[in-house]
Amino acid sequence: MREITYREAVREAMCEEMRRDENVFLMGEDVGVYGGGFGVSAGMLEEFGPERVRETPISEAAFVGAGVGAAITGMRPIIDLMFSDFMAVCYDQIINQAAKMHFMFAGKVSVPLVIRGAAGGGTGAAAQHSQSLEQMYCHVPGLKVVVPSTPYDAKGLLKTAIRDDNPVIFLEQKKLYNQKGPVPEEEYLLPLGKADKKREGRDVTLITYGRMVPACLAAADKLAGEGIEAEVLDLRSLSPLDRPAIMASVQKTHRAVVVHEAVEFAGFGGEIVSVIMDSEAFYQLKAPVKRVGGLYCPVPFNANLERETFPTPERIEAAVREIL
C-alpha cells in the first residue's frame, strides 16, 4: 500500500469530498494562494477556484459565523481555523450558535460544519499557538470532537466528518503533519465514536489519542523489552466516545494509564478515568488508574522548556512501572 503524509491525507479527504459534493467548500485565512498555514490546502485553489476555496479576512468571528450561516442554508463548509487556539476568538459562534441550533429549532435545522484546527505544541509556536483545548469542545453538547493520530485515520475520519450533519471539531496535531503512513487509494470511511487498538497487550492499557499515540507506542516498545506488554488504545474520537472499547481493554489488562498532551489538570483524561470507575471495569482493576498529561503552565517558547511541558515516552514508562 502507498504511504503518504498526514498533511496529504487531510488534503485528499477534502478534495475527494469537494469533487463528490458541490456543496462542500473550504474557507479560512491563507487557504488559497498560500496553501494554508501548514500547507494542507496547497493546490486546491487551482483545482476548485476561489468560490470554493475562499480566502477570508483575519477575523475568525466573521468567517466562522459565515460558515455556520452557510451550513444551516444547505452548504457543507470546511472551516480552516489555522491554529485551534483561535477558537477563543469565535467561541460564541461555535458554542452558542453551531452547537445549539439543531436543538433550539427542534431538529428542523442541521449544521453540517467541519472546523479544522492545528492543535498542540512541539513546534516552538509558544503559548498562544500551542495549546490542546479539546476538553473545552467536549464539554459542549451538540459538538463532535475528533483527534486522529495517523494519515489513515485522518483521511477516513475527515471524510466521515464532512458528510455528518452535525458540527464536527477536527483537531490535527501539528507535529503529525509530516508523519507518513499507509493510506489506500480507494475510497473508505471511518466511523466517528470508534476507538482503534494500535497495539495488543496483556499487562496494562495505555489510553490516548493524537500525538501521544506515537509516544505511547514508543513507550510500549521499550516496556516490551522488560517483559511488560502494554496495549495501546487510540480513542480517535472523543465525542462520541467509545466507552465499550475502554472498558473491554481495561477488563483484559486490569491496569490503565491515560495519556494526553493537554494540561493534565481538568483535562479530558479525567473523563476517561470516570468511565472506568463508573463501569464494571472498576472491579477488574489491580491498581489505581494513572494520568500522564501536560504540565499546568503556558507552553514555553524555549525548545528545552517546551519539551519538558509534554508527556514523553519516559514519563509514560514511569507511570506504567508505578502501577505494576
Active site residue ranges: 60, 129
How far apart, in whole angstroms, are the C-alpha atoms of residue 324 and residue 91?
Answer: 42
Helix (H) or strand (E) holding 118: strand 114-119
Q: Specify burial of residue 186 (Cβ count, 10 A radius: 0-12, 13-18, 19+).
A: exposed
Ramachandran region, residue 258 (left: φ > 0; alpha: ψ -120 to 50; beta: rest): beta
Q: How many other C-beta atoms lie within 10 A of the C-beta of residue 13?
A: 24
Give me the count of residues in the chain. 324
Cell numbers 460564541 correspond to 92
- State the angle between helix axes of 6-20 and 151-163 in degrees (0 to 180), rounded to the nearest 10: 30
Dihedral pair phi/psi, residue 83, rounded to 5°: -100, 130
The residues facing 258 across adjacent strands are 207, 291
SS3 9: helix
CB 61 within 8 A of CB 90: yes
CB 38 within 8 A of CB 177: yes
How far apart, in whole angstroms, are the C-alpha atoms of residue 7 and residue 301?
Answer: 24
SS3 305: helix
Q: Specify burial of residue 285 (Cβ count, 10 A radius: 0-12, 13-18, 19+).
A: middle
